[in-house]
Structure formats: C-alpha cells, structure tokens
Amino acid sequence: MTASQTSFKTRAAAALADRTLKVAIDRTTATAERKRAAAVAAFPEFAAARERGEAIKNHVIAHLDHYLVMFESNATAAGAKVHWAADGAEARAIVTRICRDAKAKLVTRSKSMLGEEIGLPHALANAGIERVETDLAEHIIQLAGEKPSHIVWPAMHRTREQVAELFKASHHPPPAAADPATMVQSARRELRAKFLGADIGISGANFLIAATGATCTVTNEGNAELTTTPPRIHIVTAGIEKLVPSTAHAFTLLRLLVRSATGGELTQYTTFHCGPKRAGDADGPEEMHIVLVDNGRTKMLADEFRTMLRCIRCGACMNHCVVYRQIGGHAYGGTYPGPMGSVLTPVLDGLAGARDLPHACTLNGRCAEVCPVGIPLPTLLRAWRSRSWRERREPRALRAGIGFWALVARRPTLYRLVSRIGVRMLRLFGSRGWIARLPLARGWTRHRDLPRPAGRTFMEQYRANQAKQGARA
C-alpha cells in the first residue's frame, strides 16, 4: 500500500503508535537542532547573512526569466545540453530518452529531492534500467523499497539494527558487524564497482550558477563526484528556482544552507560542474545534460506561494517542527515532509488529496524562526487553509461549526450571552482546574486535558473591573 492510498490521519496514527520510529526520529532531529543552534551561535553575522540570502533569492525570483536564459546560454557555451520540462512527465521522458539513446544499462544516482519529486526512480525502473542510489541513506531506502522520510537524512526513520538487517541480506559479503562504521565500510565496498561501471550518472543541483552555467552540488560523502565523473554521460535534473546570479552569491547561501541543515559550516565537498570533459582532461563525462524543471514553480510565482520559491531545502523547518518530530516524514505522504512539505505538496499533488497537511500544524512559528531565507511558513500554511475553505474542501461538520460561530460572533449581545452560558456549562465537566472528558470534544480530551475556565467570561470580568475602578475614581 502506498502512502497516497491511505489518509493522513491513518498514517499519522500508525506513526504515533510506532515506538521504534519515535526513537529514530528523536536521535537525528535532536542532534540536528543542537548542532544548528551551536553553528548559528558561532556566527554572529548569521542574521545579516540571512537577510542577504533572502534578498538574493527574491532578486532571482523577480528576474527569473533573465537568469534562466543567462544560465542556458552559459551552460551551452560550456558544452552542456540544456533541456526544459514543464512538468514531471516531461522531465522523466527527457531523462529516459537520453538513457535509451545511450543504451544505458546501469545508472548511478546522487541524491536529489527533485528527482524524487518528478518520480525519476520509478521511470528508470519502468524503462528497464538498473538504478543504483549512491548516497548512503538513499542506498538504505532503495534496499528497503521505501521513499525518503527527510530531505537531508532520507533514512532517518531506520535504526541501526534495521539497517544492519538490510545490508546483511543484500551486501556481498555481508557486513561483519552492526555498528555504523562497519556498515559504512560495507556500503563503500559494495558501491565502488557500481560507480566505476555506470553508463550514466544522474545528480541534482543545490544551485544553478547563471554567470558560469555551472551546477553546484554539496555532499559529505563524495558520492556526487564519484557518480558524475566516471560515466560517459552526466545528467542533472534541477528546479528552475535553484538559480543564483554568480558563484559568490552561491557562497552566501551555502553559509546559511549548511549551518541550517547539519550545523556544519561547509559540506565536505562543494562542487561546481560546468559542462562535459574538456579536450585533454584526465577524466570526466563526454556529455552533460541539464534538465530544467518547472513542475508547478511558475504557478507559485503567480500566486500567494511565491516566497516558497526561496526554499533552499535545508530541512531545518522539519527538524524544529513539533508535528514532524512526532510522526516523521512518511506520514505526510508527499515527496517533501514537514512544514515546507505541507506548503509544497498541495502545489505538486493538488489540494484535494493534501488538504489535511496545512491543517496538521500548531502554527507555533518555529519553522519560520529557523528558516535561513525567512519564508513565512505559517502564513503560507494559513493561505492553504483559506483556499481550502474557499474551495469548500472542509468537512461538513467543521463548516457548519464555523458557520454557526460566525453567525453568533457577528451579533455581540448574542455572543456574550452564549459565551456566558458556555463557560458556566464547561465548569460542570471539570474538577480541580481541569476538564478530563468532554462530550463532542473527545478528539481533544482523549489525549490531553482542557483547563477549566474561570467562572465568568472575559467581558464580565472586564466590566466588573472597570466598574470597580470607576467607583474608586
């Protein structure tokens, strides 16, 4: 059963009941939160850098056509072939056509969320091409037949014991022990021959540099360079919002990206890939293809979700999200989980199937606080809620409830009367300051108590207070 065939509530309930999952999520997100805080504390200029990062992304978005054309012209001059894809289907068709034309049997892939977004893994399988994921976490989830549960740590939902089982079943020879170091060595051995034997290497891009036509990848493992150097063809798939004017602009954003993602300052490898192998070069692919993918991005440019195009995919919003940290990434059901995913999934998959996501948010604002490019995520989530209301996608009981509330709220005398009755009724269900069970509100009281209200409404107390002060004066 795939995630999209079940409802968000079912998936979230299953995730909440999974103790192992909670342990796995806590281990990674808690470390990420702590390391990010330390990295930001050690960089007093972070706030200024963040404003600049936001301004750079806004600048690019405001001149997106200009920079796309500039990038295309410079990448072409460097010898790359630039392709354009309006949606996922077009992007998949371009990539599989290049693979087929090259008679490719084995493709290595360096982690790319855009690749997941456009369904590239599936498309390659359908085309009969062996695909080997080379990022360690992607290797783990490929063996498990799963989707990523986090945009930076795709396998963070798996404990080391679960990883050991997967490796034991599929590595030749199997790893000698179940500690992370031995398992990493085993994956290194297992994948080395694949890197060197691949016909095509596919990567994503963290940035597209308009001034040079280069694509930039950042990794800690070194798998991007091992994926893109030995094969005859290198294919890049990238969203059109990844553009930056120049290498220097990319560096401003890299300082924010890495600190926000892992708490490091730079990843171990930051690589600018500019065209194919030059005449005389010791190694490198003979062809480089870059697929520029829209897939909903121009639609976001035109509506209230434009600021979401600033996203640099660091994952800080999910690491700091109280909901994500309870249910993990798979429960969200889309390519991108957490707060940024709850904004993007309705764009990519439609609001009809994703209506629950913008609602599964406490609006506590932690995501916006840590976002390195200042995306107002709670505002965007509220925008989806309003759209869902306007499109009449809210459940009937909710619509009726809010309709009734609006009816009363527009009539102050009636509103005060109803609330006076309400607080007095509510007090009947409480004892020692808390309400443990409440009819019609079991969904709330099953998991937590409601504070018992004060004996009188705010307006009653306010009036009494004013009268007392009036008497004193």
Partner 1 sequence: MTARDRILAAIRSALPRSRPSPAAIAAEAAALLAAPDLARPKLAGETLVEAFERKATALGTTLDRVPAMAAVPRAVRRYLEGQGLPLALALQRTSALTGLDWSGFDTHGDLAPDETAALGLALWGIAESGSLVVHSGADTPILLSFLPLHHLVLLREATLLPYLEDYADRLASSDSPRNAILITGPSGTTDIEGSYVRGAHGPGFLHVILIAAGGE
Residues between 150 and 169 with contacts to partner 1, criterion CB under 8 A: 153-156, 158-160, 163
Contact 186, 174 (CB under 8 A): yes
CB of 9 to partner 1, least distance (A): 29
- Give the sheet arrangement for strand 434-435, strand by strand: 430-431, 434-435, 450-451
What value does the CA radius of gyration of the chain take, rounded to a whole number of Å? 26
Residues 10-29 that bind partner 1 (CB under 8 A): 24, 27-28
Tell me which stretch binds partner 1 (CB under 8 A): 278-286, 359-367, 414-422, 437-445. Answer: 278-286
Q: Does 269 bind partner 1 (CB under 8 A)?
A: yes
Tell me which stretch binds partner 1 (CB under 8 A): 200-208, 273-281, 313-321, 408-416. Answer: 273-281
Cα separations (Å) of 314 from 102, 289, 470? 34, 25, 57
Nearer to partner 1, 214 or 360 (CB): 214
Nearer to partner 1, 115 or 241 (CB): 241
Contact 290, 83 (CB under 8 A): yes
For the chain, how are helix, strand and coil distributed in percent, rounded to 5? 55, 10, 35
| Two tokens, residue 41 | 């504390």
Q: Does 136 bind partner 1 (CB under 8 A)?
A: yes
Nearer to partner 1, 77 or 322 (CB): 77
Nearer to partner 1, 43 or 429 (CB): 43
CB of 299 to partner 1, least distance (A): 8
CA angle 21, 22, 23 (to 5 degrees): 90
Residues 62-91 that bind partner 1 (CB under 8 A): 62-66, 68-69, 78, 84-86, 90
Residues 187-226 that bind partner 1 (CB under 8 A): 187-188, 191-193, 195-196, 211-214, 220-223, 225-226
Residues 397-456 that bind partner 1 (CB under 8 A): none
* Residue burial 230-242, b: 16+ Cβ < 10 Å; e: rest: bbbbbbbbbbbbb
x/- map, 28-57, partner 1, by CB under 8 A: x--xx---------xxxx--xx-xx--xx-
Give the integer Cα–Cα distance in Å for 94 and 73: 19
CB of 98 to partner 1, least distance (A): 15
SS3 301: helix
| Sole binder of partner 1 in the list 266, 418, 426, 450 (CB under 8 A) | 266
Nearer to partner 1, 8 or 167 (CB): 167
Nearer to partner 1, 275 or 346 (CB): 275
Q: Is 246 left (phi over 0), alpha (psi -120 to 50) or beta?
A: beta
Among 145, 289, 137, 263, CA closest to 205: 289
Among 311, 313, 336, 314, CA closest to 324: 336
SS3 147: coil
Residues 108-127 that bind partner 1 (CB under 8 A): none
Give the integer Cα–Cα distance in Å for 102 and 90: 18
Tell me which stretch binds partner 1 (CB under 8 A): 298-306, 397-405, 418-426, 436-444. Answer: 298-306
CB of 141 to partner 1, least distance (A): 10
Nearer to partner 1, 137 or 370 (CB): 137
Q: Does 96 bind partner 1 (CB under 8 A)?
A: no
| Sole binder of partner 1 in the list 112, 142, 262, 419 (CB under 8 A) | 262
Contact 134, 227 (CB under 8 A): yes
Residues 170-189 that bind partner 1 (CB under 8 A): 180-181, 183-185, 187-188
Tell me which stretch binds partner 1 (CB under 8 A): 125-133, 294-302, 355-363, 403-411. Answer: 294-302
Q: Where would I find the H helices in 63-119? A: 64-77, 88-101, 113-117
